[in-house]
Structure 1
């Protein structure tokens, strides 16, 4: 949560100083955060900004320091502030070890690892975060429900994309929903396009066409492998990363043996942050 680099998208040291400057003390910062409203502005500016937390730079009132802070870090701070104010503890200021990996969730986690030509952290993290987001969207479209995703770069030339799924496998059947029958041209086109692929076609209670078909992929790992290996141009992976993927990549389960850096990232992805979600 602390750190302005793109890998963390958190609160920089300067942002922390500005918050204390505006609010008077660390305790007041926590009190304000605990009651924060979406898009709330701290400081004054003639401009409107679109970010979960707006922090006006006192040196440049047209600059929003909160723009670079992710929604996850903002909401985590809100939860942690509420818990700390209820029951303060020095443990909040100590980094907790997160190497324990819940097996039940790890088996539904996919890790796509590859090597890349060395480049700055800002560039590689921008690329791998976009890649993870795009692949998440592609898997969701294919019927695999991705719950969370993340990306990590480590050891200067290694990177991994992480995906926690509801399940790695889905039913071999899928339903394609078409237009309502009253839309003549569209319904005719839907029937023509899907008739040969359909096991069953019918109209539902809303008058919309339904087609029961065999799903192309039942396994998320197989789908992801085929997408990256054979259809990378349609994957949404940034062009700057494609040559790196073409030199080779591996897809493993979260329960397989991983490097220390990846193991930490998996743990972060699939474990609950007790400081934010404590019930004490």
Structure 2
């Protein structure tokens, strides 16, 4: 236990912001308040600037500062005006910012070296009053201000850093991990970092946490944490089953074999061409990759489409007789679908069962269909008619280069990009992937905990 406590003390020293960071943040907030007043002074209605998020309640990690500024509009404001004036205000505060989209557009950029979001929202007094999803955020801020104590600030930082070390910090659809808000709620519920990981280590999934005990809503999630300000919402909805399992695994590791490395993500070197060739030779598999230009859409739209398309193409390959050992999708300026096949080539014929002889109408139709076609058979296997027929494709590269790929379930923006242009790479062509996808391929071929 001494070693465990020493590790926590060491991590605490590294995650608490320095006095210079705090001073710089305070100065930035003051300047943003001035800019906000200037940007909203001529509006036909009154707005309120709210500083929210972890920097507003002192739960942010050293060196990881995102400032969330919300511009709260009267409830009588039309959606059109909220979007129009919200963007105008955002661009006045952040002249070099760019627009992104959640429930409605907002402006994202940098200010004095900090990452900033300028988000318009409606005023709301409770979850019943919500007009858009982002209206919850001020309610979250008010709830946490009432619940948090100074003693909990560093406990929250420890949990956030631990989640980072596990590789599961962030509720975006790429990470599918734990949000900062979930981290804060877990510490409030269990009282400390140590209590939290002890509880997590004992969980039997699925887990349901409803501190207020007021929700009648149930969710198909490995972890449900009912939002204390909105009983219809699961704060842990983004957390995947795999990532919850990782959190549980590393919680047990930290308790049984405490080490500081569990708080920090592994530093990965890109895979070399020699290493890639060695992995393929050792595994005896035949990888292929579909490479295409990444659609210009926000991350939370891109990654669900990548996963849908990966699954759809994998299903298509499987239905056509190709055995997939494992597959994954990676995204940079280009994206790839990486399929590790048992073999690129499969037999030219496939076994195809017909109906049982007892089903006379169907059996007769089967015989009529295949008697005069280029197949082996029909013949009888036990009580069924059978043929061995020729496949349309016996080579995975040729198959994926054909129009057949577009019969798979593919996300709309991914489909448009593939229709514009894509390449299928195999064998030595895969070595061209290491400059851009070296880290991804290193992680793929080294799937250790």
- Indicate the residue corresponding to 1:119 in structure 2: 297
1:72 aligns with 2:242: yes
| Structure 2 CA distance for partners of 1:203 and 1:250, relative to 1, 3 Å | same
| Structure 2 CA distance for partners of 1:2 and 1:118, relative to 1, 3 Å | same
Number of matched pairs? 268
Shift of 1:236: 1.9
Which 5+ residue runs of structure 1 have no aligned equivalent?
A: 275-280
**Contact residue 110 and residue 252 of structure 1 kept, 8 A:** yes
Shift of 1:137: 0.7
Runs of 4+ in 1 over 4 A off after TM superposition: none
- Indicate the residue corresponding to 1:39 in structure 2: 206
Which 5+ residue runs of structure 2 have no aligned equivalent?
A: 1-167
Counterparts of residues 73-88 of structure 1 (less than 5 Å): 73-88=243-258
Counterparts of residues 264-279 of structure 1 (less than 5 Å): 264-274=439-449
1:200 aligns with 2:377: yes
1:258 aligns with 2:425: no
Shift of 1:218: 2.4
- Indicate the residue corresponding to 2:309 in structure 1: 131
Counterparts of residues 134-153 of structure 1 (less than 5 Å): 134-153=312-331
- Indicate the residue corresponding to 1:188 in structure 2: 364
Which of the residues 391, 394, 404 maps onto 1:231?
404
Shift of 1:145: 1.9
TM-score, normalised via structure 2 length: 0.54
SS in 1 for 2:307: helix
1:86-115 deviation per Cα after TM superposition (whole angstroms, max 9, x unaligned): 212112122221634423349532221111
Q: 1: distance between equivalents of 2:242 and 2:432? A: 28
Shift of 1:135: 0.3
Which is bigger in relative contact order (C-alpha 8 A, separation at least 6)? 1
Q: 2: distance between equivalents of 1:32 and 1:194? A: 62
**Contact residue 109 and residue 165 of structure 1 kept, 8 A:** yes
1:99 aligns with 2:270: yes
Q: 2: distance between equivalents of 1:35 and 1:247? A: 50
In terms of fraction of residues, the more helix-rich structure is 2
TM-score, normalised via structure 1 length: 0.83
- Indicate the residue corresponding to 1:177 in structure 2: 353
**Contact residue 135 and residue 236 of structure 1 kept, 8 A:** yes
1:247 aligns with 2:420: yes
Shift of 1:248: 1.2
- Indicate the residue corresponding to 2:171 in structure 1: 4
**Contact residue 107 and residue 253 of structure 1 kept, 8 A:** no
| Structure 2 CA distance for partners of 1:210 and 1:70, relative to 1, 3 Å | farther
- Indicate the residue corresponding to 1:49 in structure 2: 219
Shift of 1:140: 0.9
1:22 aligns with 2:164: no
SS in 2 for 1:4: coil
Q: 2: distance between equivalents of 1:81 and 1:194? A: 60
| Structure 2 CA distance for partners of 1:175 and 1:25, relative to 1, 3 Å | farther
Shift of 1:118: 1.9
Backbone CA RMSD of aligned residues:
2.5
1:13 aligns with 2:180: yes
| Structure 2 CA distance for partners of 1:172 and 1:35, relative to 1, 3 Å | farther
Q: 2: distance between equivalents of 1:80 and 1:203? A: 55
SS in 2 for 1:177: strand
1:26-50 deviation per Cα after TM superposition (whole angstroms, max 9, x unaligned): 3333333333333221224322211
| Structure 2 CA distance for partners of 1:130 and 1:84, relative to 1, 3 Å | same
Task: Please identify the structure whose Cα radius of gyration is greater.
Answer: 2
| Structure 2 CA distance for partners of 1:31 and 1:259, relative to 1, 3 Å | same
Shift of 1:139: 0.6
Q: 1: distance between equivalents of 2:314 and 2:256? A: 37
